[in-house]
Amino acid sequence: MEVIVELLSTYVRILVVEILFLSVFYWVGWPVCKAITFGRYPNSLALSNGKNRDAMVSLVSVIVSLGIFLCFIY
C-alpha cells in the first residue's frame, strides 16, 4: 500500500511540475526571450535540432519571475 501511495504521489508531482514549468512558465518566458534577443529566439514553438527550447524558455521565465518577486520584497 505504501508503494502505491508513493508511486501515485510521484506521478502527481511530476504532472504538476510539467504543467507548471513547461506550460505556464513557457508562455511567460517566451516574450521575455523575444525581447532580449530582438525576436530571434525562440524562432518557433517546435523543437528543432534536438535542442530542448521549451525548457530553456521556461528557465528564463523562472529566473525573471524570481527577480521580479525579489524586487517587490526588497
Model confidence over 14-72: pLDDT tens digits?
888 777 777 788 888 888 888 888 877 766 655 555 457 777 888 888 899 899 999 99
Whether the CB-CB separation of 65 and 25 falls below 8 Å is answered with yes
What's residue 70's pLDDT? 92
Q: Considering only CA atoms, which of 31, 35, 57, 38 is closest in space to residue 46?
A: 57
Range of the domain at 17: 2-73
What's residue 50's pLDDT? 47
pTM of the model: 0.63
Residue 4 has pLDDT above 80, yes or no: yes
Set of cell numbers at residue 50: 534536438
- Total number of domains constituting the chain: 1
Give the residue-averaged pLDDT of 7-12: 88
